[in-house]
Structure 1
Amino acid sequence: MENFRERIKDKKRIVVKIGSSSIIHEETGHLNFERMEHLVRILTDIHNSGKDVVLVSSGAVGVGMKALGLTRKPRSLTMKQACAAVGQGRLIAVYQKLFSEYNQGTAQILLTKNTMLDEIRRLNAKNTFENLFDLNIIPIVNENDTVSTEELEFGDNDTLSAVIAAIVRADLLVLLSDIDGLYTDDPAKHADAELIPVIEVIDDKIESMGKGSNSAVGTGGMVTKIAAANIVTDAGADMIITNAGDLNNLSRIMHGEEVGTLFLAHKRTNFRLLEYLEEKPYFTRR
């Protein structure tokens, strides 16, 4: 049997997504500096090994909520935008400070779905990423929630990270989640649920395993991760879901260890990113 995990060692361009619940203390709403520092150290080490790295990080709205004294996620679009406007600057400042401790340059990139829908803007975004890679910079990406509208937003950073992976022609997308991977059933409710180590084809059975988000600060769930896997694997990259509770999982993945759930690439010859972006709310392309 082919060792799919061993192939991970040879990946050259990696996109890593981390969610709000993984970098924010749920009890207090404050940033988890220890976890962020650990993430930054691992990403810098991966980059130092000769690989291109992109970080897609949630958290701007959550940081803004805390700064504005809010205890619940805002329902209105304008309040969400206000939280993002306050929180994004604070979040990127922390990342820049942490990366600078390891002499690693970073760049902030804020995107909207509207940017990706336009061919010229999409090409400009791709060129920006390529130039940053040439300059040994790690791009830090988030959705530009301050200007996104409900009709033209990605809605979650699982989808955004998949789109980024497709645009930059990444070899691997790693979704750092609050669960070990995709299970046969909800492990919180069913003790006999089993982790699925490898998924070669995303069929109806796999689609049906999607669950919604239970996080107080996050927006995604397993359903958005499977949707992201549809984009990434069709674009020709592998995708792994693993638990952010132990960020060493990221290092283990890059060393070829069996961690999380691996979705195998199977590039579609007629892959067109627009087909996925134009479908709502979550998409299947088979």
Structure 2
Amino acid sequence: MPNKYHRIVIKIGTSSIINADSDVKLSVIESLTRVLSELNKAHEVLLVTSGAVGVGMHTVGIKTRPSEIGELQALSAIGQSELMDIYSDHFKATGQTVAQLLLTRDVVDYPKSRRNVLQTINTLLKNNVIPIINENDAVSVDEFDHRTTFGENDQLAAIVTNFVAADLLVILSDINGLYNANPKKDPTAKLLEWVPKIDAKLMKVAGGHGSQFGTGGMATKLNAAKLILDHHREMAILNGEDPEVIKQLINGANVGTYFSATQPEGRTNE
């Protein structure tokens, strides 16, 4: 595989691992863990995962995402344990060692804790361990001037990418990439292959919210892309239904939407 990307952050959204019936998509997780284990032989790989609340809902048999903070944090606490067990079992089948890191915003905002967590991540990567990162939703809160939440995991993934100086952020979603119109409403909507900057027109096109189990949407992904581009890094949005698409991207295939200041070979922004 090309070595353009030394360090890669992969973020998978709730809609990619939880279906409409609140069941966990074990086949997607199996494929994802296999692909990341293969990539980790030639690259340094980090996984940012959503889905703790969704898995918690599945575990206790809830179909509709609650709005009360206490209920959401309780579901996250239940789901995070279950989700990590699922990842650990599937990674173990590939012979890949993983480690869990639950972050709050203040961990990366304050210098001493920032240095400590970065040292931990670098040590894990040096030893070929894949860090599995999620926000510590069970305890995160915003109160006055003490902010511990990231907002949602697209933002978390972008912050982690910049924080660890990764070369690429790949966001796996339930859509092929960014379109110039809503493809669910407009049959003429065209996939944008390359986006060099985030402007008001693109943000207007993005609109909308995530699934009933998650908090993301295309707007949150564009906010993440802006943060990535502002730090002179690169990002892609891919359809997470088949995680093999990650290898296609890294091997130079024109898949998904690619965000970078310079035009990638074979891609246009028309």
- Superposition TM-score, scaled by structure 1 size: 0.86
**Contact residue 20 and residue 58 of structure 1 kept, 8 A:** yes
Instruction: State how far apart, in whole Å, the 2-side matches of 1:72 and 1:110 are.
Output: 25
Structure 1 residue ranges without an equivalent (≥5): 1-5, 267-286
User: Which whole-Å CA distance do the structure 2 matches of 1:239 and 1:128 have between them?
Assistant: 24
Alignment of 1:88-167 (within 5 A): 88-151=80-143, 152=147, 153-167=149-163
Match for residue 13 of structure 1?
7
Structure 2 residue 201 is the aligned partner of structure 1 residue 221 = no
Q: Secondary structure at the match of 2:189?
A: coil
1:73 and 1:237 mapped to 2: Cα distance? Answer: 34
- For residues 99-152 of structure 1, give each alpha carbon's deviation from its aligned partner in whole angstroms, at most 9, with x where no partner exists: 111111100000011222212212222111111111110000000001011453
Q: Distance in 2 between matches of 1:51 and 1:24?
A: 27
Which whole-Å CA distance do the structure 1 matches of 2:70 and 2:189 have between them? 40
2:180 to 181, 184, 187: 184
The 3 A distance-change label for structure 1 pair 224 and 214 is: closer
Q: TM-score, normalized by length of structure 2?
A: 0.91
Q: Name the SS for the 1:208 alignment partner.
A: helix
Q: Is the 8 A contact 2:228 2:235 kept in 1?
A: yes
Structure 1 residue 67 displacement after superposition? 1.7
Within 5 Å, which residues of 2 pair with 1:72-83? 72-83=64-75
The answer on whether the counterparts of 2:31 and 2:242 sit within 8 Å (CA) in structure 1 is no
1:212–1:220 Cα contact (<8 Å) kept: no
C-alpha separation between the residues in 1 aligned to 2:70 and 2:53?
A: 12
Distance 1:145 1:201 in 2: 31
Q: Where does residue 56 of structure 1 map in the other structure? A: 48
Q: Report the RMSD for the aligned CA atoms in angstroms.
A: 1.6
| 8 Å contact from structure 2 (residues 195, 257) kept in 1 | yes
CA contact (8 A) 2:232 2:261 kept: yes
Shift of the 265–56 alpha-carbon distance from structure 1 to 2, 3 Å rule, reads farther
- Trace 1:193-232 onto structure 2 (pairs within 5 A): 193-232=189-228
User: Could you tell me how far 1:265 is from its partner in structure 2?
Assistant: 4.4
Matches for 1:259-278 after TM superposition, within 5 Å: 259-265=255-261
- C-alpha offsets along residues 187-231 of structure 1, whole Å, 9 cap, x if unaligned? 110111111100112222223222222411121011100110111
Which residue of structure 1 lines up, in the alignment, with residue 19 of structure 2? 25
Residue of structure 2 equivalent to 1:45:
38
Q: Which runs of 4+ in 1 moved over 6 A?
A: none
State the secondary structure of the residue aligned to 1:186: coil
Aligned to 2:267: none
Q: Secondary structure at the match of 2:11?
A: strand
1:282 maps to none
Once residues 207 and 32 of structure 2 are traced to their aligned partners in structure 1, the CA distance between those partners, rounded to angstroms, is 26
SS in 1 for 2:206: coil
Partner residue, 1:272: none
What's the offset of the Cα at 1:181? 0.8
2:250 is matched with which residue: 241, 254, 264? 254
